[in-house]
Amino acid sequence: MNKKNIPVSEYKDVRGLLKRYVEALRTGNADSMSGIFHKDVVTHGIVDGELVGGTGNLAAEFIRAHGASPEITSHIDILDITPVTAVVRIITENDAIGSDCCEYLNLIKTGGRWSVFSKAFLQFDK
């Protein structure tokens, strides 16, 4: 039996949330990250060959430390989605410090809203 379980609207909601994330990076508005990342988000990644990360919204901290990324470009792939979880890959180029990154985001839907609850990323060598 071929049954469609996830309506297109869920994909649009996930993509819309992550477009807001990239736009916050572009404008340098850390306050607009509110609601994108779950309050208990965990982020880890490789920067200059070293593991960095921890709890909290490290993307907002990046904006506060480095400002806007007016030249950033991105590509968003929704790799999988269920009624309450999603896995997404975002490729970004030319952030505030001129870096390119690959991010894997795990999202969860609680209270009818999507949010990022974990992020693993790689900052490519310059």
Q: What is the mean pLDDT of residues 64-74?
A: 97
Residues 15 and 9: their CA atoms lie apart, in Å, by: 10
In this prediction, residue 5 carries a pLDDT of 85
| Helix runs in the chain, H state only | 8-27, 58-66
Question: Going by DSSP bridges, is the β-strand pair 37-47/113-123 parallel, antiparallel, or unpaired?
Answer: parallel
Across 52-70, average pLDDT: 94
Question: What single-letter amino acid sits at 106?
Answer: N
CA distances from 24 to 65, 79, 123, 125 (A): 14, 22, 18, 23
- According to the model, what pLDDT value does residue 81 have? 96
Residue pLDDT, tens place only, 30-45:
999 989 999 999 999 9
**pLDDT for res 69:** 97
**How sure is the predictor about 16, in pLDDT bands with cuts at 50, 70 and 90?**
very high
- Global pTM reads 0.93
| pLDDT for position 13 | 97
